[in-house]
Every structure is written in structure tokens, then in C-alpha cells.
Amino acid sequence: MPIPSRPPFRTHGVMLLAVGTATLFSFLLTPLIGANTFPIFLVAVCVAAWVGGMIESLTATALSALAILFLFIEPAGSFAVTPGVALRLAAFGLAAGLIGSLTVAFRRTEEARRERERDFFLMVDNVRDFAIFTLHPDGRVATWNEGAEHLLGYRDPEIIGRPFAAIFPPESAEEGPRWELEVARREGRADDERWHVKKDGTRFWASGVLTAIRDDVGRLMGYTKVLRDVTERRRAEVERAELLERERRARAEVEALSRSKDRFLAALSHELRTPLTPVLMAASALEDDPSVPDGAKADLAMISRNVAMEARLIDDLLDLTRIDQGKLGLRREVVDVHALIEQAIGICRREIEAKDLEFAFEPRAANYCVPGDGSRLQQIAWNLLKNAVKFTPPGGHIAVKTDDTGDGRLRVEVRDTGIGIPEEVLTRIFDAFEQGDPEVTHRFGGLGLGLAISRALAEAHGGTLTAASEGVGAGSTFILELVEAAPPSDEECESPVVSEEHPLRPLRILLVEDNGDTARITARMLAASGHTVTTAGSVAEALASGGAHDLLISDLGLPDGSGIDVLRRFHPLPSIALTGYGMEADLRETREAGFTLHLTKPVDFDQLEGAIRRVAGGVPGAGDREQP
């Protein structure tokens, strides 16, 4: 706010008094200084300029010149002006004008500074959100604004002159102020957040800065302290930190539970798969035995089918876990979808004939090649066909056809005349463990995983899988769309199954298997194929087996270690991991350990023999991973 100007009568009076005083002093000092009274009148001009301004300064200069001319220049009492007198008066006028101008400029500068200081202190004093106060160099409170009174509760008379340690809690009342003063004195400012205490003893969390105040020569004049209550912010930060910690613990618990679930599923898979291997191998061996009656072979085929169904259920559970964890690995190649569908039809052929279903396959697509994992795409086709067969009554109709959509996609449609899907179930038919009505589950069985896994596999290939039905009893249509590969040229796209036979010389095989039934039936069938087999039921027995071997077939879980321990001894011998452990981590572990191939139990002898051909028979692709 501007500083009010002085009243004219006051400034004029001071000016006249200054000139009169200068005249009086000149009379008194004339005996000592003679007629040299100009400096005394210059003081009068300076006083007039300071009190009044430039007008008063000029007026004082004129009055002083007249007084000097009339009273102190000979002849006294006369206004006669000689050239010498005129020169002296002109010099006096110039000096008085310069002094007056400098004095007025200095006065204005000083008044502006005082105005800024006044405005600043008014502003500081009226700030209520911040406590702002100054300290003497020894830490005693010098000034105290309204915000400080509002925040800390002390009024000026209660705090001025007291050490500012009064606003610190007892446990830091000595160390806290000393640290702040020392840091501010050394570094210019001290920032911190800490607990402070109000007059009534209430504690609050404050953010503050203590700044050293120094003069132009660097001498410490005191300190300015700015303090703000940030208790609510700290409370929010503490609550957020506690929430994050709870979330971290919860996440860690979930991850631990997930790891426990993975370990459980891996162990469950192993324990369920291991007993199935000797059953499947024995059944497949007896099916190929010409001495077994045809009626018994049909029963053996039924045993093999049910073992395969049990293994498929285990695979579905593991696939669901892989999908949930985003660990579903795909081996990319260009796949012949028509061949893939025909193979799936072949797998389901017996069930189709058993129910006397009318079946039609119409391969209309001109471009039937897609980029993807052949075994996973075949899994989708098999799931869709299996569902159609499962839910279509005897004598019903199933049609599979393919088409080009015209926009670079291949469309596979599986239509049946089965039980249909209620409208309210269509929205959730692809959810895991979903089969619609509980009566459907009771009547047809199953876990309700096939469609959920199939959609996830389709989406992993950049495709879609949808379902349509007009309701109960109206049948169902499932539509799979996949991105087409480049149109087939002279080289056809690949079928997912390698069927070419290659001659295989007799091998010396080290079979490491701790399950007695699996070891006996596997060794017997390998020996029947002309191989020389050495069996071991533990790591120690395998390492003590001695002799030269052409191939290692080893389980992973052994009583005294792992099949990887055996592989380290015989590496780089061609090797097959034959194990009930089929999780993604197990596949990665055997690959990194150096196994040539990974077979997940149960396997029949044809699968094992095919793997042996790939690993030791020179078939291209040896070293690929196999996951039946």
C-alpha cells in the first residue's frame, strides 16, 4: 500500500525552519569560518529535499542564496551582484540542485523499500495456512504471524523471546532445534518433516523450512521459519503404505498359493499318469498280438480309449492352468487344416459309428493352410467333434465344413442335431467347468473344460470360436475362424503328424524307471523290438549300470534324485524324458537340462517307438519337444 504524502504546511514549515536554522548557525559560526557559509545552507537544502521533495529543495536553494547574498556577502544588507558573487552563487545552486536530486531519489528508494517491507509483513501476518515466524541468531522467537498463532496456539506475548524449541515434542526438543539451526547456518536452509506440538500439547505432522537471514556482508541476522500442518497428507500416505503392504502380502500369499497349486497339480498329474502307462502299453501290446481273440481285442481297445480319456482329462486340467498363467506355449508352423480335421475325425470314428451318426465333411476352403501349432489346432478340432458326438443322439447328423471368408480367414463350421444350447447358457458356454444345466453334467459327464480351452487356443492363434443354437433340441453350431497363411504353392503345408517309417537298428537302451510295472512292460516291449535293455530303478543304479548305451530313457522323479542327475552322467547321449510331470516348468527344465525329447505319461508303445525313431533313428526333427 502506498505511503501517505506529508502535509504541505509541514514540509514548507520544515523547509523554512531548515533555512532559518542554517542562517542562525552561519551568524554564530562566521567568526570561525568567515563568509564561507555555503556548506551550512547545503545541509538546509538536503533537509528540505528529504522532508518535502524537489519543489521544497529548489525553494530552499533560492531562499538560501538570497540569505547568503543579503547577509553574508559584502556589502551586507545589499543585493548587489558582482561577477564573482554571481559565479559563487551559481556554483552553490548547482551543488544544491545535485544534492537535492540525490536526496529525493534516495528518499523515494527508501520509501519504496519500506513500502515493500510493510506489504510483506502485512501479507505474512495475515497468512493463516502457514506458520511464519522469525528467530534471533540464538533461536529465540523474534516475530510471530497470525498463521503461527492459528496453527500453534501461542499469542505474541506468550512466545516472543522464547526458544523455538517450545514447538518441538519433549523427545526432540533439544536435538531438533539444534540440528535445524546448525544446518540452516551451514547450508542456508534446513528442510524437514517431523512431529511438532501445539500449546495445548496436541501433536501434528509438519513440513517446514528454516532459512538463514544474512546481511550484505554475510553476517547472520537471524532465521525465518515456515511451517505447515500436513498431518492429513501423512495420514493418507501411511494408510496408502499400509494398503500397499497389505496388497503386497496378499499378492505374495496368492503367489504362494499359486505355486502350491502348481506343485499339487504337478504331483497329482504325475501320480495319476504313472499307473496309466503300464496299462496303456500292455493293452496296446495285446491288441497287436495275433494270438489274442478278436473279442478280447475289442475289450483291449476299450481299455486304451478309456486310458486315453483319463489322460485327456489330466491334460485339460494342466492346459487350464497354463492358460490362466499365460504360459501356453505354441510351436508355430504352417498347418494343413483339412488333414488336421481328417485326423480328428479318425480319432472319433469309432464313437461316430457306435452311435450310428450320419457324418459329412465338406472341405470347401481353397486355402486350407494356417500358421499355428498343429497339435493345438488338432486339439480344438477334436474337442469340437467330441462334443458334437457326445451330445448328438443315435441316428443324428453331424456336418463339418470349411470355407474361405474372403477377408483372409479360414472358417471351420461344426454343426450337429444334438440337444442344443439354451439361450441363457450360450453366454457362458465357454466358461471353465460350464456345461449348462446340472442335469446335462449328470447325464453326459465331463468337466466342462474342452470349450474353454478351445476358445483360449483359438484366441492364442489370433482366431475366434463362437457358438450358436436355436434352443433346446435344435442342435448346435460351433464356428472356428483362423487367419490363413499364404496360399499353398508347390509345397503343401504340413500335417501335424509324422507318419513316415524309418528303419531302426537295434539299440542299447538304459531305461531308468522307479515304477516296477512300467519298467517291466516297457523293457519287455523294447526287448521284443530287438533292443538290448538295461533297467535301473534309481539314480544310483543308473550310474552303476556301466557299459555303453546308445539311448537313455529316464523318468524324472526318482527315489534318490532326478533323471536330470542321470543325464548329467551320460550326456551327450540321445535321451528321452518319460515322466508323469508335464507342466510347462517341467518341459522347460528337461529342455534346459539337455534331454532330446520329453514324453508325458501315459504313452503307448507306438508313441514311445516313434519317439525313439526321432531321437536315434535319424528322422528329421530330432530334438523337438513332444507333449502327447
Degrees, nearest 5: CA angle 218-220-223:
125
Spell out a b/e string for 474-513, using b for 16 or more CB atoms within 10 Å of the CB, else e: ebbbbebbbebbeeeeeeebebbeeeeeeebeebebbbbb
The angle, 0 to 180 degrees and rounded to 10, between the axes of the packed helices 8-33 and 38-51 is 170
CA atoms within 13 A on the CB side of 353: 6
Q: Could you tell me the pLDDT band of residue 499, with boundaries at 50, 70 and 90?
A: very low
As a CATH number, domain 242-327+503-628 is 3.40.50.2300
Helix (H) or strand (E) holding 63: helix 54-67
Residues facing 208 on adjacent strands: 192, 227
> For the segment 373-430, what is each residue's pLDDT rounded down to a tens digit?
888 888 899 889 988 998 999 999 999 999 998 888 999 999 999 999 888 888 888 8
Most confident of 87-91, 105-109, 407-411, 546-550: 407-411
Alpha carbon distance 184, 212 (integer Å): 6
Domain boundaries, the chain: 8-123, 127-229, 242-327+503-628, 330-483
User: pLDDT tier at 537 (50, 70, 90 boundaries)?
Assistant: very high
Q: Which of 543, 575, 573, 574 is nearest to 558 (CA)?
A: 543
Kindly report, residue by residue over 208-227, the tens digit of the pLDDT.
999 999 988 889 999 999 99
DSSP H helices, 432-572, are 438-444, 450-460, 516-528, 539-543, 563-570
Which residues is 464 bridged to in the sheet? 481
- As given in the structure block, the three cell numbers for residue 36 are 564561507
Residues 6+ apart with CB under 8 A from 212: 184, 185, 188, 189, 220, 223
**CB distance 427 to 444 below 8 Å:** no
Rg (C-alpha) for the chain, rounded Å, is 51
The terminus-to-terminus CA distance of the chain in angstroms comes to 90
**Distance, CA of 576 to CA of 590 (rounded, Å):** 9
Assigned fold of 127-229: Beta-Lactamase (3.30.450)
What global pTM score does this model have? 0.51
Q: What would the grid cell of residue 558 be?
A: 526318482
Whether the CB-CB separation of 58 and 85 falls below 8 Å is answered with: no
For residue 415, give the nearest of 387, 440, 455, 457 by alpha carbon.
387
Of the two residues 82 and 153, the one the predictor is more confident about is 153
The confidence score (pLDDT) of residue 615 equals 87
* CATH 3.30.565.10 assigned to 330-483: yes
State residue 443's pLDDT score.
Answer: 58
What is the tens place of the pLDDT at every residue in 305-334?
Answer: 777 767 777 777 777 777 776 767 677 888
Going by pLDDT thresholds of 50, 70 and 90, the confidence category of residue 503 is low
Q: What's the average model confidence in pLDDT over 58-74?
A: 77
